[in-house]
Amino acid sequence: MFQNRGLAFKLTFFILSCCTAIFAVIFLYNYETSRQIILDKVMENAKNLTTSKTHQIEKVLLAAGKISENIATCIESGAVSTEEGIRELLRSSLAANREICGVCAAYEPYTFKKDEKYFSIYCFNANNTIETVFIEKKTYQYFFLDWYQIPRELGRSHWSAPYYDEKGGNTIITTYSVPFFENKDGKKIVRGVVSIDISLSWLDKIVSSINIFNSGYGFLISNNGMIVTHPQKEFIMNESIFSIAEEGRDPQLRETGRKMIAGESGFFRSQGVGGDRNRWFFFAPLSSCGWSLAAIFLEDELFSDLNRLFTKLAIIALAGFIALFTFIIFFSKRFTRPLRELAEATKFIGGGDFDVTLPVQYSNDEIGKLNGAFATMQKALKEYIINLKNTTLVKERIESELKVAHDIQMGIIPKSFPPYPDRSEFDIYAILEPAKEVGGDLYDFFLIDDTRFCFAVGDVAGKGVPASLFMAITRTLLHAKFSRSLKLARIVESINEDLSTNNENTLFVTFFVGILDTSDGSIEYCNAGHNPPFVVRSNGDVEQMPMSKDIPLGITTRQFSVGNMSLGIGDSIFLYTDGVTEAVSNQNKFYGEERLKTILKNTAGRASKDIVCEVLADIKAFAEGAEQSDDITELQIKFLARTIKKMAGITGDKKLAIKNRIDELTRLASFIEEIGDKWGISKKAVTDINVCMEELIVNTISYGYPDAGEHEIEIGVSLEERAIKIRIADDGREFDPLKASAPDDLDKSLMEREIGGLGIHFVNNLMDGFTYERAGGKNIVTLTKNI
């Protein structure tokens, strides 16, 4: 391959290639320019020579034609009108012009003599004597011949095509015919034609004098393309320019023949007449008779001197090329030897031998400077490799420590799911995928007591080791503060105070922490500048919690607000960091909250693990292989069922005895609310119980006692699995509330309905169980409320 060749070879190749290209361009340009100059000069000479010969021929033809025109004028004017006069005119004209071989005066039928159809006098030279012939016979009907009929019909003079005169020594002659007229009734009528015959033997001398170089010649064609003169005698009057073009399959010659008989002039290049050598033509017309004269010269003769000159120059150039090649080879090897030695030394350097000896250079040229640069590089590489080994060791140690840090970070967050197999009140799942070996996101959750469940998600500003350490500190503080049984707002404020103190790197963390009460689904939460979570209802509705006005933790000490919300059974809350919504695709587009909201709606009702994994898969599909730019954290909690508080010290039934007075209802309400608070009963359930008990006891106080004396009403409350039972006993008149019919006017307004009946209706609708019995002289009502 060329790229594997040595520098000396490449240097020689490129120099010789450039020199060859330059000289080739110069030679070709010089050759073409010289060739064009020679061609232009020869064309000019050919044009001048051909034009000169056409003028010479035209001069003879015009002079001959003038004789015929003079005779026709004499006859037409009436100066000669008798047979004897015409004969003498013709004989004298013939005698005075020896280039003419015959002259004729022919009349129209019955024109010269009214009773004779034929009258024609022809005088010609025969053995240096002039003889006269009278044409008066039907055997020679001259008025049907071309020399007569054409000028008669055209009404003007006409040169005939050349032809052989078999009676006149088989010479080539041409006839020039001129019509003469008479005026009759104001019109010119042809009376006859005067013609002269001219031998064309003199043409051959003129045309043959056209000599261009050794083989150049001229030839003449008639107005129909017939060859009149030519060096090859067999062509004369036997071939036309068109037949020669057809035989030589030369369409360009055929086209040139058309131009010649059309009276045009010009140059063209052809393979020649009857040969295969390249030839140049110049042709010019004879305007008097419509013939055309052409001059031909051979191309190889035209450029023979030029070709010999350039052959000698090519030999000189080849000798110079060989000398230049030898010179370049010698000096390129000499100049590139140090480079080859340096290249050999660098192989050892590349193999790790940094102590190899470089070749000694005594010159201060570019090669000497390169050698010095290699010596400097050799020393620098040696030092660099030593530093690289040390750096690699440090890097490997750092990577090992980062892996340990990653393992530690992933170890401090809960990863075992389900985390509380014995708890069926909620379903939780979470993931954390750092963008680097370690990240700054966190999630955490733990049980505070039997019914309170704490969960949190945070995002430290930044990545890497500092962010991961700040994350670990935040998580540690979260556990430490909850152990002190503080209120949620104070817990967050205390964490913030600790993070803000001595925070020299000005790190901060967006933080969301919530406490789920599994007894009723209520959530108390604090959002310190974090992405607001999504709440997914059991019916598929998705809503985003309002954006928090509190700032992230670690910036400055301040107070934080606490919010409240409630989850129904089947509802869930989805927490995440901005690595989810700000995931970037290959088209630099963000994943966004709307896409997250859509997938949460589509996966509502599924298990928490399925939802978290579905969101993560959708993020990766959206990214299309783009590098993860931020940590991704997701945490999903679904509320499944309520549980009951079982506080220490609360066992058995709770009892209360009240008097049959209305003011005792306040003590009853406080008693029920206290039980509800201690046992973790929802506020709504407590309210329903109080409403029903108040209705029943007011009825008892108002209608149950026949006397006005003081009576005691006993109330007992017991806790059963997922239900609370209330037992009310009084010693009033016997009354079964279950037999009381529901009012039939519930669809009427309050003003239209009759008083009474609503209390029992409320108890039936608000309680899950309602029974009555009469035992031991007492009315005993039992209410059951599922919690």
Q: Which domains does the chain have, with CATH numbers?
A: 80-199 (3.30.450.20), 204-302 (3.30.450.20), 413-639 (3.60.40.10), 654-786 (3.30.565.10)
**What is the mean pLDDT of the segment spanning 693-699?**
89
Residue 289: pLDDT over 90: no
728, pLDDT greater than 70: yes
Name residue 289's amino acid: C
Element at 729 (helix H, strand E): strand 723-730
pLDDT tens for 455-493 read 999 998 877 777 778 888 888 888 888 866 678 999 999
CA-to-CA separations, 776 to 299, 304, 656, 729, in angstroms, rounded: 152, 154, 19, 10
Kindly state the average pLDDT of the residues 429-454: 86
Q: Give me the pLDDT at residue 114, please.
A: 83
Residue 650: CB partners within 8 Å, gap ≥ 6?
A: 678, 679, 719
Report DSSP letters for 29-80, one per residue.
HHHHHHHHHHHHHHHHHHHHHHHHHHHHHHHHHHHHHHHHHHHHHHHHHTS-
Residues 663 and 647: their CA atoms lie apart, in Å, by 30
SS3 content of the chain, % helix, strand, coil (to 5): 45, 25, 30
Share of the chain above pLDDT 70, in %: 86
Predicted confidence band at 103 (pLDDT cuts at 50, 70, 90)? very high
Mean pLDDT within 93-114: 86
The average confidence (pLDDT) of the chain is: 82
Gap between the Cα atoms of 392 and 384, Å rounded: 12
Whether the predicted pLDDT of 125 surpasses 80? yes
**Residue 750 scores a pLDDT above 50:** no
pLDDT digits (tens, 9 = 90+) for 502-551: 887 788 999 999 999 988 899 999 999 999 999 999 899 999 998 888 99
Q: How many residues does the chain have?
A: 787
The answer to whether the peptide bond before residue 434 is cis (omega within 30 degrees of 0) is no
- Other beta carbons within 10 Å of 370: 14
Are 676 and 685 within 8 A, CB to CB? yes
Taking residues 716-723, report their average pLDDT.
Answer: 82
> Could you say which DSSP state residue 531 is in?
P
Cα distance between residue 504 and residue 487, in whole Å: 29
Distance CA 160, CA 150 (A): 9
Give the separation between CA 130 and CA 714, rounded to whole angstroms: 184
Is residue 93 within 8 A of residue 318, CB to CB? The reply is: no
In SS3 terms, 242-300 reads as HHHHHHCCCHHHHHHHHHHHCCCCEEEEECCCCCCCCEEEEEEEECCCCEEEEEEEEHH
Place of tokens 């009676």: 167
